[in-house]
């Protein structure tokens, strides 16, 4: 594969053609925050470009570009730290928080939540935008996986893990706009789908939208109703380092 020369934050480097700006920056130890992007073992990439947390400025282009799914090109001059890029990323996180429950201290993912970590990194201390909040029904039907869609940021990592890694394809995006959710077809509860309860979706979820059931009573109940519940040990994380 041929090499291209790009400049990132005044640093000239050579990277393989077809490399994303994010990967090129990483190779030069330049940090760009991400949220929806992930690399999985086995070479599976997930770059929906949906969150816009990774935007950068490219010389000669009017719009900011998501670095995770914009490929480098010969002579490209990129600025990852311009005021415009930093302000846009911050606004994206503030908007995500504006439709996110404010119960971090009670959340299963507290201190392990990527949205929480990003907000802390960016020094966000208060809710800038306030408005209508999502109020989707929670899905506690399964003995091993709980779904709290109010905490979903629509990164679709679970869709990729379920479809491309586990090849079960239980989860997909449905509806439009503010009503978009990640759900089994026809809004079925997890227990009524062909989910194998492998836990891959839980392991890649950046927030508390998908969590592992942590309730011994529920597990015992399920063990006594095997016809209704399926219990499979949660699989190890599939995310690459
Ligand atoms: Fe690039 Fe989400 S990480 S758009």
Dist. CA 29 → ligand 1 center (Å): 18
Paired tokens of 179: 């009503």
Residues 161 and 121 reside in one and the same domain = no
**Residue 213: predicted pLDDT:** 87
Atom of ligand 1 nearest to the CA of 36: 2
Residues 152 and 225 reside in one and the same domain = yes
Q: What's the alpha-carbon Rg for the chain, to the nearest Å?
A: 20
Residues 198 and 164 reside in one and the same domain = yes
Cα–Cα distance, 32 to 25 (Å, whole number): 8
- Residue bearing the CA closest to ligand 1, atom 3: 34
**Residue 214: predicted pLDDT:** 74
**Residue 143: predicted pLDDT:** 85
Dist. CA 38 → ligand 1 center (Å): 9
Residues 29 and 139 reside in one and the same domain = no
Question: Counting every residue, how long is the chain?
Answer: 241
Residues 20 and 122 reside in one and the same domain = yes
Residues 68 and 182 reside in one and the same domain = no
CA distances from 163 to 35, 145, 169, 194, 195 (A): 19, 17, 4, 12, 11
Q: What is the CATH number of the domain that holds 121?
A: 3.10.20.740
**Residue 219: predicted pLDDT:** 57
Cα–Cα distance, 237 to 78 (Å, whole number): 33
Atom of ligand 1 nearest to the CA of 54: 1
Paired tokens of 192: 């009524």
What is the tally of structural domains in the chain?
2
Eight-state DSSP code of residue 201: H
Q: Angle CA(48)–CA(53)–CA(55) in degrees, nearest 5?
A: 90
Residues 45 and 154 reside in one and the same domain = no
Q: Angle CA(16)–CA(21)–CA(25) in degrees, nearest 5?
A: 90
CA distances from 225 to 27, 162, 192, 195, 218 (A): 51, 25, 14, 17, 10
Residue-range definition of the domain harbouring residue 194: 134-241
**Residue 40: predicted pLDDT:** 76
**Residue 223: predicted pLDDT:** 55
Which residue among 116, 132, 148 closes a domain?
A: 132
The three-class DSSP label of residue 71 is strand
Cα–Cα distance, 182 to 190 (Å, whole number): 12
- Name the residue of 25, 36, 95 whose CB sits within 8 Å of the most ligand 1 atoms, as the mutation to test its pocket: 36
Residues 157 and 235 reside in one and the same domain = yes
- Residue bearing the CA closest to ligand 1, atom 4: 49
Q: Are 39 and 23 in contact (CB under 8 A)?
A: no
Paired tokens of 29: 């130890």
Residues 127 and 139 reside in one and the same domain = no
Q: Angle CA(5)–CA(6)–CA(8) in degrees, nearest 5?
A: 150
Q: 23 CB contacts (<8 Å, ≥6 apart)?
A: 15
Name every protein residue with a CB atom under 6 angstroms from any ligand 1 atom.
34-37, 49-54, 66, 68
Cα–Cα distance, 90 to 105 (Å, whole number): 22
Cα–Cα distance, 31 to 135 (Å, whole number): 35
Dist. CA 60 → ligand 1 center (Å): 21
Spans of the chain, pLDDT less than 50 = 226, 228-238, 241
Dist. CA 15 → ligand 1 center (Å): 20
Residues 109 and 141 reside in one and the same domain = no
**Residue 50: predicted pLDDT:** 93
Residues 102 and 193 reside in one and the same domain = no
Residues 32 and 83 reside in one and the same domain = yes
Which residue among 104, 132, 160 closes a domain?
A: 132
């Amino acid at each position: 594969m041929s090499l291209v020369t790009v400049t990132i934050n005044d640093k000239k480097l050579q990277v393989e053609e077809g490399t994303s700006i994010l990967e090129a920056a990483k190779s030069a130890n330049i940090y760009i925050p991400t949220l929806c992007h992930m690399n999985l073992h086995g070479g599976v990439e997930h770059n929906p470009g949906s969150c816009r947390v990774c935007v950068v400025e490219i010389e000669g282009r009017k719009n900011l570009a998501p670095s995770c799914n914009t490929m480098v090109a010969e002579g490209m001059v990129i600025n990852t730290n311009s005021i415009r890029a930093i302000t846009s990323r911050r606004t994206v996180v503030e908007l995500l928080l504006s439709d996110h429950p404010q119960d971090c201290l009670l959340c299963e993912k507290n201190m392990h939540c990527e949205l929480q970590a990003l907000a802390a990194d960016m020094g966000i201390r208060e809710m800038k935008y306030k408005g209508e909040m999502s109020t989707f029904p929670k899905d506690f039907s399964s003995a091993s996986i709980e779904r709290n869609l109010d905490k979903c940021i629509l990164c679709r990592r679970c869709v990729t893990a379920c479809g491309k890694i586990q090849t079960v394809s239980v989860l997909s995006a449905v509806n439009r706009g503010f009503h978009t959710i990640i759900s089994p077809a026809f809004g079925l509860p997890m227990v009524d789908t062909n989910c194998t309860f492998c836990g891959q979706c839980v392991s890649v979820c950046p927030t508390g939208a998908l969590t592992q059931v942590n309730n011994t009573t529920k597990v015992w109940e399920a063990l006594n109703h095997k016809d209704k519940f399926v219990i499979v040990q949660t699989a190890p994380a599939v995310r690459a380092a």
